[in-house]
Every structure is written in structure tokens, then in C-alpha cells.
């Protein structure tokens, strides 16, 4: 099989076209995750079938479609990195790559945490300031105290950053050993997840969610797909799809916070009995969920615009420009 040659640069190509299928998969994965977290009760039959609790055979994958959506995001991350950043060899280039990934992920993540602290000021009253501050590192989940105190989606930052750090080595291994390496990563990741979840081998809660070797297979599968050219090459020329794909990361970060505030005010304004009655009101529920999803999109869009301007400002600083242009 003819493999694509690496480009020896840490800077993403500005002339490379965005791949339509990558953007569509990203949008669909985020939509599935938001659907599950919104607790949409109007179609319980479909929910029970597509989103059951627990895990599948050998505890390798969650039973629900939402678990596969998360691994789909990891796969697409590996594919997009390989498509844009092949051939990172020098240390300076590696640091440039990590910096670009850092400013792509962290400012928006920090905004979501600040947004959460504004929405839920009660968090400041728990005498847990050090833990709250540590959550800004993106690695709160490694403490074994849950996915996050402010934003439960923060665990994904630790998971994906850990894979980004290892990306150049994963890419080289896949390029050198081809399908054999992918099979090896599959056995390692599936084996680790199965052993950890079945026998509780690691005392740290949610260790399997963020530890890079547990997610290496899906990430490397994305790398392999691009190296082998096993993806539709059609470029994304749709401005709507591009905008939704760009928006998806912000929806991923902010949706739980918006949903939480909707649920909080609903339960506190109606009470448990009235909520039970409300849950049987199809029209009322439909309006409620439409308002919730529109608010998620508006908040995410505002965050995206702020983040885009902030990143543009950072990248225009002379010190940053010199650092990124140096070979």
C-alpha cells in the first residue's frame, strides 16, 4: 500500500484543504454526546436501545453510543494531526507543535471554567480553592476525584493532551511498522481497558479514561487511516459544515454547564412533584429542550468568537511569531 510521505514541518499547512468526512464525524460525535447529556426523555425507546448503561463485552467499550462518540473524537484527532503535522523531528519543531495545540485547547477550556464559576458561585464556598485552581491545568481527573469539579468535560483535556505529547512517536511507529503496529496498539489499549475495568487494577478513579496507552489504539487508528490514505479525499467546501465543525469543540466544553443551569433552575422553580408532571408534558419538554440547545449554541458561538480573537492576538505577538517561525 502506498503511504503518504511526511512533511518535515511542525507548522500546519495553510494550503491543505479540510477534509469533509473528518468535520462531519466530529460534528456527529459532539451531537451524540450533547444529546446524552441533555437527558432528552421524549423518545425513551430509542434512548434505551442506543444509550444503555454499563459496558460492552470484556469492558472494552461503553455500551452506549455516546462512549463510541468519545472514541470517535480521539480517532479524528489522530487523523487530523497526521494530516496536518506529519514529520515532526526536531525538538524546536516539537515545542512549536505543542504550543499550537496548547493555544488551541486551553484558552477555551479556561473560559469554560470561569463561566462555570460564575454560574455556580457556591463552588467558592467549599474551601477547595487549590483543587479548583488545579482544574485549570486540565489534569484534575488524574487526582482520582472525578472528571472535574467545575466542568466535568475537563477530563478530555488530560486525555487528548497526553496523546498529543506522544503523537510524533506514535506517527513514526505506525509509519515504520504499518498494520502490525496498529494491531499491537489495539491489543495494548483493549487489554488495559479490559483489565482495569474488570479487575479494578488501578486504584485511581477514571484512570482508563485519560491514560494515553488506554486510548492509543483509537488515536493511532486515525493516524494509520491518513498514512494509508483510507479516507474520502473530498474537501470541505461548505461554510455551514466548516462553521459547525469549528463550533463543535466549544459546544463540547460548554454544553454541560448550560444544561446544568437549566436543570438547576427548573428543579428549584418547579419542585420535584411539578418536575414529574412537567416530564409528561410533551409540548413543554420540547420547548424546554429547544431553549436549552439554542442557549448552548449561542454561548458556544460567543466563546468561539472570543477565543478566535484571543488566539489571533497571541499569535501576533513578536516573541510568539519569532518562536513559531524559527526552524
Q: How deeply is 199 buried, as exposed, middle or buried, from its count of CB atoms within 10 A (0-12, 13-18, 19+)? A: exposed
Which tens digit of pLDDT belongs to each residue from 230-269? 999 999 999 999 999 999 999 999 999 999 988 877 666 6
Please name which of 250, 178, 199 lies closest in space to residue 34, comparing C-alpha atoms: 250
Q: DSSP per residue over 256-270, as a string?
A: HHHHHHHHHHHHHHH
pLDDT at 84: 93
Residue with grid cell 413543554, as numbered in its chain: 284
pLDDT at 273: 45
Residue with grid cell 491518513, as numbered in its chain: 226
Q: What is the pLDDT along the chain (327 residues), one digit of tens a residue?
A: 555 555 555 556 555 789 999 999 999 999 999 988 887 655 666 677 677 777 888 888 887 888 899 999 999 999 999 999 877 888 999 999 999 999 999 999 999 999 999 988 877 776 678 888 999 999 999 999 999 999 999 999 999 999 999 999 999 999 999 999 999 999 999 999 999 998 888 888 899 999 999 999 999 999 999 999 999 999 999 999 999 999 999 999 999 999 998 887 766 665 554 555 455 667 777 888 888 999 999 999 999 999 999 999 999 999 999 999 887
Reading the block at residue 177, the C-alpha cell is 511498522
First to last CA, the chain: 32
Q: DSSP per residue over 58-91, as a string?
A: GGSSBSSHHHHHHHHHHHHHHHHHHHHH----SH
CA distance 120 to 122: 5
pLDDT at 129: 81
Q: Which residues of 93-104 are buried (b: 16+ CB within 10 A; e: fewer)?
A: beebbbbbbebe
pTM of the model: 0.91
pLDDT at 86: 74
Other Cβ atoms within 10 Å of 164 Cβ, number = 23
Please name which of 290, 299, 310 lies closest in space to residue 115, comparing C-alpha atoms: 299
Amino acid at each position: 500500500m502506498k503511504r503518504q510521505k511526511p512533511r518535515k514541518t511542525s507548522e500546519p499547512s495553510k494550503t491543505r484543504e479540510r477534509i469533509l468526512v473528518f468535520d462531519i464525524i466530529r460534528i456527529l460525535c459532539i451531537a451524540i454526546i450533547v444529546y446524552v447529556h441533555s437527558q432528552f426523555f421524549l423518545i425513551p425507546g430509542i434512548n434505551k436501545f442506543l444509550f444503555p448503561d454499563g459496558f460492552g463485552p470484556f469492558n472494552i467499550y461503553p455500551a452506549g453510543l455516546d462512549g463510541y462518540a468519545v472514541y470517535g473524537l480521539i480517532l479524528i484527532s489522530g487523523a487530523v494531526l497526521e494530516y496536518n503535522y506529519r514529520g515532526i523531528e526536531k525538538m524546536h519543531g516539537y515545542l512549536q507543535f505543542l504550543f499550537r495545540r496548547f493555544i488551541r485547547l486551553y484558552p477555551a477550556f479556561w473560559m469554560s471554567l470561569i463561566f462555570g464559576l460564575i454560574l455556580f458561585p457556591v463552588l467558592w464556598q467549599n474551601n477547595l480553592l487549590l483543587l479548583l485552581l488545579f482544574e485549570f491545568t486540565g489534569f484534575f481527573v488524574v487526582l482520582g476525584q472525578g472528571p472535574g469539579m467545575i466542568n466535568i468535560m475537563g477530563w478530555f483535556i488530560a486525555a487528548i493532551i497526553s496523546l498529543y505529547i506522544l503523537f510524533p512517536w506514535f506517527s513514526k511507529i505506525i509509519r515504520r511498522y504499518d498494520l502490525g503496529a496498529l494491531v499491537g496498539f489495539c491489543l495494548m489499549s483493549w487489554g488495559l481497558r479490559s483489565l482495569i475495568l474488570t479487575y479494578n487494577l488501578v486504584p485511581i478513579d477514571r484512570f482508563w479514561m485519560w491514560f494515553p496507552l488506554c486510548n492509543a489504539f483509537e488515536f493511532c487508528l486515525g493516524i494509520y487511516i491518513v498514512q494509508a490514505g483510507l479516507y474520502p479525499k473530498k474537501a470541505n467546501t461548505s461554510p455551514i459544515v466548516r462553521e459547525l465543525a469549528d463550533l463543535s469543540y466549544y459546544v463540547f466544553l460548554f454544553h454541560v454547564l448550560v444544561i446544568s443551569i437549566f436543570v438547576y433552575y427548573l428543579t428549584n422553580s418547579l419542585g420535584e412533584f411539578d418536575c414529574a408532571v412537567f416530564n409528561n408534558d410533551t409540548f413543554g419538554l420540547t420547548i424546554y429542550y429547544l431553549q436549552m440547545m439554542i442557549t448552548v449554541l449561542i454561548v458556544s458561538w460567543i466563546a468561539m468568537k472570543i477565543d478566535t480573537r484571543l488566539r489571533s492576538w497571541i499569535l501576533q505577538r513578536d516573541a510568539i511569531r519569532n518562536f513559531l517561525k524559527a526552524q
